Structure 1
Amino acid sequence: MTTAPSRRWSVWGWTAIAAGIIVVGLGLTAIAGIAQLPARGLLDPHAAGPDGTRAITRLLQKEGVSVIAVRDREAARAALSSGGTLIWADTSPLADDTIREISARADDVVLLDPASRDLRVLLSGASVGGYGMSPVEPGCDLPEAQRAGPVAPGALFTADASVQACYVSDGGAGLIVRDDGERRISAIDGTVLFTNAQLARDGNAALALNLLGRHPWVVWYLPSLEDSDFADSAPSLGELTPPWVTPVMLLLLAAAVGAAVWRGRRFGPLVVERLPVTVRVGETSEGRARLYARAGEPTHALDNLRIGALTQLARLVGLGPTASAQEISDAVAQRLGEDRQAVRGILIDATVDDDAQLVDAADRLRSLEKRLHTAVRPAPRPRAPESDSPLDHPPSRKDRS
C-alpha cells in the first residue's frame, strides 16, 4: 500500500528536476540571444517609442522620399550605389576609415547624434560645446533652416569659418553645414529635434523634412554589434580565464548533480514503529522544574510542578481545561474533605526560598495527588476465599460408592 505513493513522488521529483533544467536552459538561451537582437531604440527609423524616429520616416515617405534602414556595411554600400542621403545615428561600432569610406558614397551626410570623433572624422575643425534649450531663429542663409523657422537646438557645436552655422545660441550653433563640392555634410542634435516625442514642436518637422529629404532616397545606417570593426579585438571570457577553469567548473557541476541525486534518494517507504516506552503525562513539567531548580529558581520550579499537578487533579475531579486554579483547588478540598485554605496553600499560595523548601512542597503536592486518586478511584476489594461447602466440590467416585 505504501509503494504506490513512493513511486508517485519519485516520478514527480524527477519531472520537477527535468523541468528545472529546461527552464534554466531557456533562460540561458534568452540571455545569450539578447546580443543578437537588433537595436530598436534611440533614432531608430522603425521604433515607435518616444526616442524612435518612425514619425519622420513616415513623413519622408509621404513626400515621395524612400527610406532604407540598414544595419550592416554591405547593405549600406549597396543602398548608396547611386548616391542619396546617408544618415548616421551611431558610428561607435565602426573605425574611422570605414566611416569615411561609406560617407564618400553618399550625396549628403547627416549626423543626427554626432560625437567628438564624428566631427573630427567628417567635419574637421568642429567640436561639441554647449546646449541650447530655448527656441532661436535660424540666423543663417541656409534655405532649409529659413523655411523651418525657430527651433530649440539642443546640443551646440563650434566650427571654423568654412562651416555655415545656424541656430546660434550661447556661442555655439545647433546646426552646422559644410558643402564639400557637390556633397553636403551636416551635424544636428536629432535626439532633441527629430524623435517621435519632439517632432511636433516648433519647426522640428519642417527642418527634418528639408534637411533629410533633399534626395529621392535616404539610407538610414544603424551599425549593429556584429558589424563592428572592433569585435575581433576584444577577448572573450573564455580567452581571459585560465585553461583549467572550464574543467573545474564541469567537475563541480557534476559533483553537485551527484550530491543532489544522492541526497534525494528514498530508502524505501516510511515504516511506523511503536516505541516500547510509556512517558508519564507530568514528565515534561517535572523536567522543566528540574531545570529551574538547577538554575537557582525554586519558585519557578514549584510553579511548573503545580501546573502539572493542577492538570492531573482537574481530570480526577471532572473539571474541564478551562477551569481556573482556584476552582480546581476548591473542588479537590471538597472531595477530600479538607480545609480550602490549606489546599490552596499547597496548590497556589505557598512560596519557597531554597531547595529544601522546594522538596517539601513537592512532597506535599505528590501526597495530595495520591490521596485524591485514592478517594476518586478506591482500591478494589480483595476476592473472597474459596468456600469449603460440599456444593462447591462435587463428590468423587469413591465417595459415591
Structure 2
Amino acid sequence: MTAATRTGGAGRGVWIGGLLIVAGLVAVLVLTSRQSAGTPFDASSSAPDGYRALAILLRERGAEVRTTTAARAAEDPPSAGQVLVVPAPELLTAPERRAFREAAEAGAVVATGGPLVEDDAFEDGFGDLFFPYDARTLADTPAVPTGQGDCDVDRLVGLGPIDTAFSDPASVRSAGAEARRCYGDLTGAYVVEERVGEGSITTLGSAYLWANARLQPAKEEGGEPLDNAVVALRLLGPTADGATTGTSITFVDAVPTAGVSPDGTQNPIDLLPTGVKLALVQLLAAFVIYAWWRARRLGPVVVERMPVEIAGSELVVAVGDLLRRKGTPQRAADVLRADARRELSARLGVPPGAPPGALVQVVAQRSGRDADALSAALLDGPVDSAEALVRLADSLSDIRQEVLQHHVVT
C-alpha cells in the first residue's frame, strides 16, 4: 500500500466521521423542534388541542396571559389574586404539586385539567399520562352537551350546557368537605371548585374542555358553540367577575420537567454546566471516531495456512490399526460394511433410504453371486475374531472389484 493511498483513506475517514456527527445533530434538532411544536394545550397554539382561542378571549377582557414551565412556576408561584392554569397535572413532580397547592392556600386561583392529587399518589412514578387525541378527531367529533345539574358554584349558575365529549367527571368526594360542583351530580362533576386556605383549586373533567376545537365542536359541519368558553372566563379570576382587566393568568406547559423524576430528584448530569456537557460530548465523539478509525483494515486480508491434509489411504490404515489395537473387530466390521453399502448404492443407483435387502438383490443380479453370501457380507452380523474380520474385508473387496470395475452407468 502506497503512502498516497493511506493518506486518501485517512482523508475519507475524517470526512465520513464529520458527516455522521452533523447528521446526528440535525436529527436531534428536528426531533426537538417537532416535539416543541406539538405540545398540547399551548396558549399560543392554534391547533385543535391548543389554547390560543381561550387566550385571545382572556386578553380581550383585559387579562394578562403568559406561559411558563412547571419548574419555573414552582420556583416563582403565583401570588394572591393571580391565576395558574395547569392543563396536565399528571405530568407534575411531587414538589411542583406541593408548590401549586401552597400557592392556592396563599390566595391564588389554580385551575387544573385533572385532580391535583397528594404526594403519596405518585410514589412509584408519574400518574396515568394523558394520550393526546389527533387533530381530526378533536375537530370532527360532535358535541356531547351536559347541563349544569344541581350547580352550587355561584359564578356559573345560569349558564347553558357545555361540551364534555373528551372528559370524565372529576370526583367530588375526594375534593374535600367545602368542595362545590357544577355540571354533574353529588359523586362526580366536570367542574369541581375546592376552597383551599385563602384561594381555591378548580378541577376540570379534562383539559380538553377549553381546547380550540371544543369551543365550537364540529365547526366545519355547522356545530354551534356551547358555554365552555364562558365557563373558563368566569372561573379564571379571583372574584365572581372572573377574568377582568389586570387579572394575571399563567398557563403551565403540558410537558414533564426534563431530567426530574416524579419525586423531584434530578439527574446529576443535568446539574453540570453547559460547557462541561459540551466538553463531554466532544470527548465521546472523538473516542467514537478514533475507535472506528483504528478498527479499519488498511491492508490485505491475511490468508491462514491450512493444516497438512492426510491421504485417504493413510487415514484408513490409521483407523484400522486403532480399531485393531482396541480389539473390537465388530466395530471395524460395521465400518467396512457401511462403507461398502454406501459406495455400492451410489454406483448402482439404489436410493439411500432403501432397505439393505434391496441392495443385496441388485448386487446379486449384477454379479451373479449367491444372495445369501452377499447378505452375510453386506448386512450387519456378528464378527468375533480378527480372522473373521480379515475374511469379511477380503469378501467386500472382491465384491467391489467384481461389481464396480465391470459396472457401466446407463
Matches of 2:257 and 2:282 in 1, distance apart?
33
Q: Does 1:154 align with 2:170?
A: yes
Query: Following superposition of structure 1 onto structure 2, how do residues 273-352 of structure 1 map, counting pairs within 5 Å?
Result: 278-279=311-312, 302-314=333-345, 319-322=348-351, 324=354, 325-333=356-364, 337-352=368-383
Unaligned 5+ segments in structure 2 are 90-96, 111-115, 119-145, 218-224, 235-242, 261-265
The superposition leaves residues 64-85 of structure 1 with CA deviations (integer Å, 9 ceiling, x where unpaired) of: 73779xxxxxxxxxxxxx9515
Q: How many residues of Structure 1 are paired with residues of Structure 2 in the alignment? A: 319
CA contact (8 A) 1:47 1:53 kept: yes
Distance 1:235 1:331, change over 3 A: closer
Q: Does 1:100 align with 2:131?
A: no
Q: 1:170/1:297 Cα in 2 relative to 1: closer, same or farther (>3 Å)?
A: farther
Q: Within the alignment, does 1:267 sit opposite 2:300 as a pair?
A: yes
Aligned CA distance change for structure 1 residues 377 and 142 (closer, same or farther; 3 Å): closer
Mark the structure with the bigger radius of gyration: 1
Aligned amino acid, residue 102 of structure 2: R
Aligned counterpart for 2:36 among listed residues 35, 38, 41 = 38
Seen in structure 2, the aligned counterparts of structure 1 residues 31 and 279 have a Cα distance that, compared at 3 Å, is farther
Q: Could you tell me which amino acid in structure 2 is paired with residue 328 of structure 1?
A: L
> Shift of residue 207 of structure 1?
3.6
The TM-score normalised by the length of structure 1 is 0.52
Show the counterpart of 1:221: 251
SS at match of 1:44: coil
Match of 2:57 among 52, 57, 65: 65
- Give the deviation of 1:351 after TM superposition: 2.7
**Offset at 1:360?**
4.6
How much has 1:344 moved relative to structure 2? 0.7
Residue 129 to residue 97, structure 1, CA distance change in 2 (3 Å) = closer
Identify if the C-alpha distance between structure 1 residues 97 and 21 changes in structure 2 by more than 3 Å, giving closer, same or farther: closer
Question: In the alignment, which residue of structure 2 is the partner of 1:368?
Answer: 395
The question of whether the paired residues in 2 share the 8 Å contact of 1:112 and 1:188 is answered with no
> Offset at 1:278?
4.8
Equivalent residue number for residue 292 of structure 2: 257
Q: Secondary structure at the match of 1:174?
A: strand
Change (3 A) 1:297 1:39: farther
Contact kept? 2:65, 2:248, Cα under 8 Å: yes
Deviations 1:144-166 (A, max 9, x none): 343045876415575798xx944
Instruction: Report how far residue 293 of structure 1 moved.
Output: 8.9
In structure 1, runs of 5+ residues without a counterpart are 1-6, 69-81, 379-401
Distance 2:17 2:322 in 1: 49
Q: How does 1:148-227 map to 2 (within 5 A)?
A: 148-149=160-161, 153-154=169-170, 156=172, 165-167=180-182, 169=186, 174-176=192-194, 187-189=202-204, 191=206, 194=209, 205-212=226-233, 214=243, 221-223=251-253
Question: CA contact under 8 A between 2:156 and 2:231: conserved in structure 1?
Answer: yes
In structure 2, how many angstroms separate the alpha carbons of the residues matched to 1:295 and 1:252?
60
Q: What percentage of aligned pairs have identical amino acids?
A: 16
How much is the aligned-residue C-alpha RMSD, in angstroms?
6.2
1:19 CA drift (Å): 7.2
Pair 1:121-2:119 in alignment:
no
